[in-house]
Structures are given as structure tokens and as C-alpha cells.
Structure 1
Amino acid sequence: MEKKYRDLVERLLRIREIGALSGLIIVTFIFTLLSANFFTWRNFIGIFTTSSELGIIAIGICFLMIAGEFDLSVGSVFAVAPMIGATLANSGVPMVLAFLAGLAFAGLIGLLNGIIVIKARIPSFIATLGSMMFFRGVLLAVSQGFTIDYLGEETGFLNALGGKLAFGMRASGLWFILGMIILSVILTQTKYGNHISAVGGNPGTAKAVGINVNKVKLINFTICSVFAGLAGFTMFGRFHSIDPTAGQLLELEAIASSVIGGALLTGGYGSITGAFIGAFLIGVMRSGLILAGAPAYWYQGFIGVILVLAVIMNTKIRKAVVGE
């Protein structure tokens, strides 16, 4: 009986998302006790909507982090891509084409980030920090700080990006789930997914066995930015307008979601599903604190505490699994 119990515990510990899932259950339980309005369908929909926009960025950045790199420009890309789309659509370009143009520009930013990191051989943290500041500055200068509203009558496609669905759900939630499935399949079921983990775990060894390390990193930088642009468009689809300050600090919350979900800051290990859960956990924290009547400035502090606890828990789980 004792052996079966130990085997069960070991199997549970081998689940990469167990730390994030445990945290989500505990936090949900606590806020359910603190507020009668927390555990309701309406609140769940609100949490899932805001978590989806963060989560789409988080799963993209987790995909990149597993390859051993960071991207701090995703918050700026979140605003830049839909701003380009809105500007083109308002000038008469069909919304679908404006959307594709915005995503293409987002991908170009990611590709540029990757090229700078690889060719200049500077840390991705520094390269993308510069990119974040540059594109945010350009965005604010061009828009003069004003919100851009969508002036067209073609709203069907925008609703498909962030509009309401049945039972109060938003389309952004479907994009979030679809993105998680696609990236999870790539990471766990394809040869390229193995290459990503190998590059993040040990680039030298990966290169020695014939993996094109630079190509993998360029692709992942591009995918990360495209997902950030998609997240921005889901928000644009929800409000039919875009604020040039949108997405500020989202890059840090996205990285926090990935780390809470089990991703290593050093690369080579992570879970797209874990990042999904991590983003939802952050959404639960935000909503729970509001309903509990806590001051708004407590939110960042609680996220910091959860992040540190998640890293400690994930480290202990990994050590327990490998027997260190």
C-alpha cells in the first residue's frame, strides 16, 4: 500500500504543471471563502477573458523561453500590431488584410529581435528591452498618445477575434485554447519540439548533433511576437479601439505566467499548458483581490509572492523527481 502511494506521488510530481495547478486550486479556494461573488459563472467569464489576452502572450513567450531566450518587447507588440491594423482598416483596407498586415509586422519585430540577438551576440533581455522602448516610443509619438477607434462598418471579423459568443464567452478564449493546443502539439509531438528543448537546454550539444540553433531561435522569436500581436487584436476585437499605452507590464506578467507554469529561466524546460494555467492563476488573483476589497496596488505584490513561491515549488518538485 505504501509503495502504491509513493508511486502515485511520484507520478503526480512528474506532471510539469502540478505546481501551477495546485496553486490555482488553493488560490481559488481562498478567494471563494473571502467573497460570495467570486465562484460564479459571470466572474469566471470575466477572469477567462482577461486571462486569454495575457495567456496568448504567455504561451508564445513560454515557447521562446524553452529555447533559452526572452522577449520583453511583447507588451509593445501587443499595442503596435492592432494599431497598424486599425490604421489600415480606417484607410479602407479590408479588415482581414489589415489583420494579416498587423500580424506580419509583429512577426517582423520578432525576427528582427532574433537577428540582433544572434548577430550582435547580446543577451535577449537587453536586445528586447531596447526593442520594447523603441516601438512603444514610436507608437506614442505617431498616435500622440490618443486612442485610435475603428471607424469602419465591417465588424464581423473583429467579433471573430474578440467578440461575444454563447454563454457570455469571448472569442479570445477560443484563440487562447487553440493557440495552447497548437504550440503544445508542436512542443511535445514533433521533431522541432525536441529541437527547441535541446537548444534551450544545451545549445552547444544541440549544434554538435546537427540542430540549426540560430534557425530555431529565429523561428521562436517570430512566433512569440506573432502571438503577442494576436493577443492585441483580440483586445481590439473586444473594444473596437486601441490605446497606445495598452500592454504595458504585460511582458512581465507573461514571463511570470510561464515561470509559474514550470518554465525554467535558463531554458530547456517548460510547459505550454503550464503557462496557460499560470495566466489563469494571475487572472484569478486579480479578480479575487478586487472582490475581496483589497487595494489595487496589492496586486503586483501578490503576483511577486506567487512567482517566488512557484519557483521554489517547481525547483523542489524537479529535485524530488530526479532524486537530488
Structure 2
Amino acid sequence: MLRRQILALPTLLATPAIAQERTINLYSARHYDSDKALWEAFTRQTNIRVRVVEANIDQLMERLRAEGANSPADVLVTVDIARLVRATELGIFEPIRNATLESRIPAHLRDPDGHWFGFTTRARVLMYDKARGLPAGLARYEDMAKPEFANMICARSSNHVYNVNLAASIIAADGVAATENWAKGVAANLARPPAGGDRDQIRAVLAGQGRIAVSNSYYLGLMAISERAEDRDLAARTGVLFPNQGDRGTHVNVSGAGLVKTAPNKEAARAFLEFLSTPEAQGQFAMGNMEFPAVTGAPVHPFLAGLGSFKQDPVDPRALASQVPEALRLMQRAGWR
């Protein structure tokens, strides 16, 4: 009996098996339920299963370093240009030339050598109470430092990536010295010590603690579609200014992804990156998480569309990322804690 089983074994191994399940392994620093629906949509279209590891970007990059050539990761997804550039500098991404992605994603929202591609943006805007109106003379980020806006500004900590990147974009436009003076002016104009996240700044302004909230657009969008009636009411009361429309444009925070250099499933990973630039995926990002799609003409949530179209700052991603360390230092020197 044993001999027959052994002889039969090669036959079993040689028998064509049911097609092995195709998968990609996604390391994601995004933590949104709407993203899960997006990964499921990709699977329905392609029969490629998405296995996800979620953690913050520092943990994911350390994991990739530790795993080395044996890493199962195919795609790394994160928020923020500086982090995408950092991953590039660490050699995590493999550059790809892809005509579909290059035609759909604007140049300032992707790496020029194809290491990563941006798929959504959040605008760093200035918000105010519609009932009180936009303070006169406010049109640019640089205006926030003017003495007439003393005790008006509500902003989170300077060391948060959103504010650091904003300062880096101002360095790219105005230089280090001018940006440090700007940061000193903003710190002097704060209505209260920095505390909480972006939504807390919006709530503070609507509670009369200041006049100007510095926030990413998607936080207001999420309040607008919240299950809490109070949040929806606050969102309806909030006005939005897209700064610097008369010159370089409004700074945007970018969420993007790239092909991991050691990816074991590269063909499937490339298909996944292309999928993220499709109208369906771009619409899911926009409708599910209140982000602006990277692809021109992709659907935008009606609430965000109601804020009006705006010009984005097309700062070179590498130039912005190179200024991040100095941006953090100068903001700390300026007393913006």
C-alpha cells in the first residue's frame, strides 16, 4: 500500500492544479474603511486578492528594511510627499515607466523618475466662520503673519507633517529667511496654544476662540458627511479660503504609492497602481474619504466641489522634501510649538 502511495505521488504533483490565487501584498500607512472597499473593487475586476498590512509609515519602512530582499511587500502606500521622497531615497521603490500613469497623473504629483505616483490630494486651506466673514486682507499664506491678524489663528502643532510641509513649500517659494519671519509672525498671531488636530482648529474658530483655522480640506469634508448632526452643522457654517490663488497656488498634501523594488508580484502590482488612476478608483477616493482626486476630470464629492475650483502649487516634490528638515527647525526657532 505504501509503495503504491509513493508511486502515485508524482502523478498527483503533475496533475494540473486549480489556478493558484493571484495576490498582491500592500503595505499601507492609510487607515480608512473606504480604502478597503477600493481594494475589494480591484479584486472583483482582476481576481487579484489584496493582502494588507497597516501601520504608520515609519514602522512600515523599518519593516521593509528588516525584511530586505525577502519582503513580501509589492506596493507601499503613504500620505505626504516628503515620506514618498524619503522612501525613494532609502531605495524602497523600483522606478517604472508607465504611459497610462504618466498621462493621468500630473507631473507635480508624481516622481519624475517613476518611483511613486500621487493618487489623491488634500488642500491646506484657511477656514473661517461664515457668520463673521473672512478677515479683510487675508489672501495668501504669507498674510497669516501680518500684525492685524493677532490672536486670530488656530493651528495644530508646528511639528505635525501637514504644517512642516506647508512651511517647506513656503521656503521653496520665498526662501529660508522669509519663511522663518513668517513662522514668527504666525506664532505671535496664534489665538491659543496649539492643541489637537485640524478638526479641533475648525471647532475652536466656530466657538469664537479665533478667526482663522489652518486645516486640510478633507477634515471639513469628513465633518460634512459625518453621522453626527453637530459636525454637519459646523461644516455648513465654515467658509474656506484657498490661499495664493493670485500667484503659485494652494499647497496640497499628496497620498501616493510606489512599486516596492523587491516585489514578488510585480505584474499584479503594476496593474494595481494603474487601477488607482482609473475613474472608478479616483471616484472612490473622492466620495469615500473626501479627498481631491489626482486625475483631472475625475469625480469630486459635491461638498468639495461646492467649495470651488482652485489652483494647486506645482512645487517640485524633491525640492519640497529637501526643505522639510529646515522647515521644522525654523518653526521651532520661531516659537511655534
Give the TM-score normalised by structure 2. Answer: 0.23
Higher RCO (CA < 8 A, seq sep 6+) = 1
Higher helix share: 1
Bigger radius of gyration, 1 or 2? 2
Give the TM-score normalised by structure 1. Answer: 0.24
